[in-house]
Amino acid sequence: MSEITTIQLEKNVVKKLKKSKKYERQTYSEFIETMLKFYNAHRNQYDEFLHRIQQEKMTELWDNKEDEAWEHA
């Protein structure tokens, strides 16, 4: 049998967990395990997505004539 521990969660988090469970009797441990599998499977995609968005924005912010003028002043 696996070891069991207790964790403290804010009540609003528990309410959200209750609403998000797949079925009423699903344990929080099962639910969190499912969320972790999903997160780990998609984390790299999310990170790459953010990087692309940030890269475009940084190019927009830094590659401009005003900044280039300051570099040569």
pLDDT per residue as tens digits for the range 39-69: 888 877 877 888 888 887 787 777 767 666 6
- CA-CA distance, 22 to 30, in Å (whole number)? 10
Burial of 45 (0-12, 13-18, 19+ CB in 10 A): exposed
Closest CA to 30 of 38, 21, 40: 21
Q: Is 29 helix (H, G, I), strand (E, B) or coil?
A: helix
- CA-CA distance, 22 to 35, in Å (whole number)? 11
Question: 14 pLDDT band (50/70/90 cuts)?
Answer: very high
Summarize the confidence of residues 23-32 as an average pLDDT.
94
pLDDT at 1 over 70: no
